[in-house]
Structure 1
Amino acid sequence: MNEPLAERIRPKSLEDYISQQHLVGKEGSLTKQIKQGLIPSLILWGPPGIGKTTLANIIAKDSGRPFYTLSAISSGVKDVRDVITKAKQSGGLFTTKNPILFIDEIHRFSKSQQDSLLGAVEKGWVTLIGATTENPSFEVIPALLSRCQVYILNSFSKTDLELLLERALTKDEFISKKNIEIKETEALLRISGGDARKLLNIFELLVNSSEEPIEITNDLVLAKVQKNIVRYDKTGEQHYDIISAFIKSIRGSDPNGAVYWLARMIEGGEDAKFIARRLLILASEDIGNANPTALIMANNTFQAVNTIGFPESRIILSQCAVYLATSAKSNASYEAIGKAQALVRETGDLSVPLHLRNAPTKLMKELDYGKNYKYAHSFENNFAEQEFLPNEITNTKFFEPGPNARENGMRDFLKNRWKDKYNY
């Protein structure tokens, strides 16, 4: 029994596939395409252990296509070209049965490796399915991303994970023969962090290291598993917990906490670009206009990290983290766009007021497009009071300046210009 439990009970069909109903349920966006065998090149994006590889296998099986797989960790450009050559020989040009090339962790492919895929995808020699835990907008080159559809896989729910355990308990040919009772699942689910593969590995470890009758309890899980947890798992729960602690330390203006969690990530082998990207987001979300230089600092950090890499990048990341932690904070811009998006979803596509519309043609001018628009630069202080929102939501305030020196200045500016219109 060398094959791990996660492999033994891996779903072989859509009927057995747990979760992701928005993709593979009766009305799922992928269901019809899979059944018809008309599969586009696609990127499956989601957390680890939620079935990306399984779904790729099912797609290949149900569409009757040859299936080739590469791991971005161990494959080079030559490996990519060799697989593409084999795929061309087994598929045939421009047929609906062209082979599927599955690339796990495609975000780890270099630009040259991704470039080597372009021709094959564009000419239809292969249908590419890439799996990634990182945002493909950042990690997949634009030319390749534009030729793929991106599908987001959601994290497993508690019900999904408990269903997986029940399946292992009743369907696996080895475990189903043992006397096992699952009395508690909280510790199992917490330690697995929503990763189904990790959950099943832990469950199998518990079963194989216990004498029958076996009672799975929280105490048993903590006693046998917790002490063996890897100190930093780049693809598991700690990946998300530690980056969360890092961000919250900076948001909370504690450079000591920020540098500690940064060190934990660096020592654990975290991707420098991942850390730098989170700093870039934080600079806008949590600091914003309280200190606009923060965004420049974070962007320069991201560029420098891309150029230099480890070990020297640790110094740049530390400098940026300390700067952001000791900066004035504001989430006013973050809150403003959230309020505006919520209202857009509620009110739909409100008409643009006529005076704000573009009028490039004679007909548009005759229809009063742009009529009565006041060109701000033609007025004193480069300001002319006029309405910039649809009539239905006039006077709605989205932006509320934060209580810091810079944004207090913004509040004074807005109050001086708009008087009581927005109640600044």
Structure 2
Amino acid sequence: MNEPLAERIRPKNLEDYISQQHLVGQTGILTQHIKKGIIPSLILWGPPGIGKTTLANIISKESQRPFYTLSAINSGVKDVREVIEKARQSGGLFTAKNPILFIDEIHRFSKSQQDSLLAAVEKGWVTLIGATTENPSFEVIPALLSRCQVYILNSFDKTDLVNLLERAMKQDDLIKSKEVILKETDALIQVSSGDARKLLNVFELVVSSEEKPVTITNELVLSKVQKNTVRYDKTGEQHYDIVSAFIKSIRGSDPNAAVYWLARMIEGGEDVKFIARRLLIAASEDIGNANPTALIMANSTFQAVTTIGHPESRILLSQCAIYLANSPKSNSSYVAINEALQLVQNTGDLSVPLHLRNAPTKLMKDLNYGKDYKYSHNYENNFVSQEFLPKEIENTKFYEPSNNSRENDFRNTLKARWQEKYNY
């Protein structure tokens, strides 16, 4: 039997579907849609291996609609139009139940390919279900996105993944024949990175390589995985592992490693825009104000690779990766916004101080909106000391300059202006 374990135990109905209770639980939004028989066009957004394709199949089955599927990797505009025409013709057999067209990795569709879907979705010839690991706000054209509901699928937690393993041990004949004892699961969960398909692939690899009975331990799993390194798979297997190594190499100021992992992604057929977006994030998260030009470089790279595409874009990506790796590092902006967000979540909607409020009407002025506000440009060096935070969190510091030449200048300027308030 060549069918992988993940396919053999793929859930067939909502009751067997693990996790995503906010969508498919008893009160989940998709459950309600199915019960009412009204399925909108939708985009399923989430990391690889969490059941997007499975969920699309279940929606089709539960709502009793014909199901058509395309992969964005190997389908062109012609393929899209042919499938739409087939779906349109079959739809006449189903009263008020237009067929479902499922497109895996819809973020890989070009603008023209996405444009070819518009009429079919708008006129109701098909109900579109798109699956993506990328933010649809960036990867799906606005005209198509406005016609779809976006639903976010969450990563599997440890309990979900263990449940998958136990299901395989109960349901799959090949696994059952090996008399598996699940002694330890940490290594399986670690190497899967929350990807259910990868988890089951590794589980099957380990089980099939041993004589029965098979006792699963962390040591056994790691020894088998290290001997069976999987080639980079742009559809999800090592997708996030490789890009993680790429970003960590840049963060660790190693241009050689950064270029190596870049080459792995390029050779594996990774989308150059995906790589360029990660460079943009790294330029701000890991370099930030230690070298603000890094963000400009990364943004220029993103725009350039979007224009010229592959294979020439490999040179631009290499240049940018090397530049970022050699740049001074600072995560102070990243830390600052995370701490500020945490404080907002803890303190709620604190009132804006009166002197900072806008006062466009007489009533607002009478209520002292804007009173005692000091206009910075009216003072020497365009600065005057005043409080800009709500009273409850006065003098709170989020930004801590990192130890690099540019941010040391920031530190000195803040000390000179604010004295003790910003005494870093």
Q: When the two structures are superposed, what TM-score results if normalisation uses the length of structure 2? A: 0.89
- 2:382 partner letter: N
Structure-1 separation of matches of 2:44 and 2:258: 32
What is the DSSP-based 3-state SS (H/G/I as helix, E as strand, rest coil) of the residue aligned with 1:421?
helix
Deviation at 1:203, TM superposition (A): 4.6
Structure 2: gaps spanning 5 or more residues: none
Kindly provide the amino acid, as one letter, of the partner of residue 313 in structure 1: S
Q: What residue in structure 2 maps to residue 367 of structure 1?
A: 367
User: Cα–Cα, structure 1 residues 124 and 359, in superposed 2: closer, same or farther, change >3 Å?
Assistant: farther
Matched to 2:150, the amino acid is V
SS of alignment partner, residue 305 of structure 2: helix
Of residues 193-202 and 271-280 in structure 1, the stretch that sits farther from structure 2 once superposed is 193-202
Match of 2:156, as an amino acid?
A: F
Deviates more, 1:379-388 or 1:182-191: 182-191
Task: Determine the C-alpha separation between the residues in 1 that align with 2:307 and 2:72.
Answer: 21
Shift in Å, 1:258: 1.7
> Matches of 1:396 and 1:206 in 2, distance apart?
52
Q: Shift of the alpha carbon at 1:351?
A: 1.4
Number of matched residues? 422
The within-5 A match list for 1:15-414 is 15-91=15-91, 97-172=97-172, 175-176=175-176, 179-182=179-182, 185=185, 188-204=188-204, 226-414=226-414
Give me the whole-angstrom Cα distance separating, in 2, the residues matched to 1:253 and 1:389. 36
**What's the CA shift string for 1:21-80, capped at 9, x where partnerless?**
232223434332332233332211222222111111112222333322211122221222
Relative to structure 1, the CA distance from residue 264 to residue 420 in structure 2 (aligned partners, 3 Å threshold; closer, same or farther) is same
| 1:415–1:423 Cα contact (<8 Å) kept | yes
Gaps of 5+ in 1: none
Post-superposition CA distance 1:279-330 (Å, at most 9, x none)? 1101111111111111001111111111222322222112111111111111
Secondary structure in structure 2 of the residue aligned to 1:420: helix
Cα 1:6–1:329, aligned 2, differ >3 Å: closer, same or farther? closer
Question: Which deviates further from its counterpart, 154-163 or 219-228?
Answer: 219-228
Range moving further from structure 2, 137-146 or 15-24? 137-146
Q: Secondary structure at the match of 1:229?
A: coil
Structure 2 residue identity aligned to 1:68 = Y
Q: 1: distance between equivalents of 2:177 and 2:233?
A: 32
Aligned position for 1:415: 415
SS in 2 for 1:30: helix
**SS where residue 388 of structure 1 aligns?**
coil
Distance 1:185 1:191 in 2: 10
1:70–1:102 contact (8 Å) kept in structure 2: yes
The 8 Å contact of residues 40 and 127 in structure 2, kept in 1 or not, is answered as yes
Q: Using the aligned pairs only, state the percent identity.
A: 80
Q: Which moved more, 1:400-409 or 1:141-150?
A: 141-150
Q: 1:25, 1:31 within 8 Å by CA — same for their partners in 2?
A: yes
Q: Cα deviation per residue 1:355-404 (whole Å; 9 max; x = unaligned)?
A: 22223334333333323322222222112322211122121111122211
For the aligned residue pairs, the C-alpha RMSD in angstroms reads: 2.7
By how many angstroms is 1:185 displaced? 4.5
Which moves more between the two structures, 201-210 or 17-26?
Answer: 201-210
Q: Residues of 2 paired with 1:219 and 1:15: CA distance?
A: 34
TM-score normalised by structure 1 residue count: 0.89
